[in-house]
Amino acid sequence: MLKSVFRVAFCAAALVSASAASAEVTVYTAGPAALIEKLAAGFTAETGIKVNFFQATTGKVMARIEAEAANPVVDVLISASWDTATDFAKRDWLLPYASPNADKVPDFLKTDTAVAQGVSALAIAWNPSSGTPKPSEWSDLAKPEYKDLVNLPDPAQSGATFELVAALSASQGWALFDSLSANGAIVAGANAEALNPVLQGAKAAVFGAVDYISFNGKAKGENIEVIFPASGTVIAPRPVMILNWSKKQDEAKKFVDYVLSDDGQAIVASQNLMPARADIKAERPLIADLKILPVDAEAVYGKRAETLADFAKIFAK
């Protein structure tokens, strides 16, 4: 009898173990590769649930989701732009979920279908060896000392850069961008393409650099400084969402819980992003340390084509 009890208990334990081992969740992310690798490893170590992930640029991630529309694969999506969360909610693609770990995330960084994983901000990335004076304001990069030495990421390729362009043009018109163009500033592709010439010393500064990329470069020994203008900048919350077609909703919820846990948010902070939770510390300026320019996302993205056309016209001169 006792042997039978032990045998039943052993079989039950084996079934639980096998179930945990076979559990998995698929995550698509436009975030840094190192971030998803560490989050996946930590989540699997804590839960036993395997994470299959695809990491790429926002455009490639979105293209993959569209291509798989007839047979969706992704359970959890992490985007580099909050506009994705807004768009997917309008399409009714998202599962409402309020993680208990989201209690300490500020209200403006969450909805009923999305919550920020972390937050980046846009800044001036400046090479101190460039022979140029240290800038403190956006307008400094239009001065003669920066003639032909400034790159801008393309707002057509970077959602965060688009929001900065929209915010600055709305608050002060296009004069600043006219001055930058007249001073030889160029639009140099996406974020990495704009930053690399500055790291290499061919250019002096990036106007609108994604902060964590520059902070990570500095941590690796790159000669770069990150400067947040006192006049203000924009932030780019990076939403995490569960797709409502997911067949792994329990696992997906557990993954979101982990991302927002103490350990998950510490991993976010380790990659020089601002944690979404207000109680998590980071070795970098946080939202409270910055002047944030207001962005009416619905109005801004409603005029996206017009804004991009005006910007392109200026830099085509």
Instruction: Give yes or no on whether 2-119+236-283 and 120-234+291-315 have one common fold.
Output: yes
Task: Supply 255's token pair.
Answer: 């993954």
Q: Provide CATH code, domain 2-119+236-283.
A: 3.40.190.10
Locate tokens 């001065």: which residue? 143
Q: How confident is the model at residue 157 (pLDDT cuts 50, 70, 90)?
A: confident
Nearest one of 21, 24, 2, 38 to 251, comparing CA atoms: 24
The model's pTM is 0.85
- Quick: pLDDT tens for 140-151: 999 999 999 999
Average pLDDT taken over every residue of the chain: 91
Class at the top of the CATH hierarchy for domain 120-234+291-315: alpha beta
Distance between CA 89 and CA 81 in Å, rounded? 13
**Residue 11: exposure state from Cβ atoms within 10 A (0-12, 13-18, ≥19):** exposed
- Quick: pLDDT tens for 53-108: 999 888 889 999 999 989 999 999 999 889 899 999 999 999 999 999 999 999 99
Nearest one of 168, 180, 192, 184 to 295, comparing CA atoms: 168
Mean pLDDT computed over 165-180: 94
- Quick: pLDDT tens for 13-64: 444 444 444 799 999 999 889 999 999 999 999 999 999 999 988 888 999 9
Q: Identify the pLDDT of residue 267.
A: 97
Residue 90 makes CB contacts below 8 A (sequence gap 6+) with: none
Q: How confident is the model at residue 298 (pLDDT cuts 50, 70, 90)?
A: confident
Q: Identify the pLDDT of residue 158.
A: 84
Q: Where are the domains of the chain?
A: 2-119+236-283, 120-234+291-315
Mean pLDDT computed over 278-292: 93
Task: Supply 51's token pair.
Answer: 């994470």
Nearest one of 295, 282, 274, 277 to 121, comparing CA atoms: 274
Locate tokens 């962005």: which residue? 295
Q: Identify the pLDDT of residue 300.
A: 85
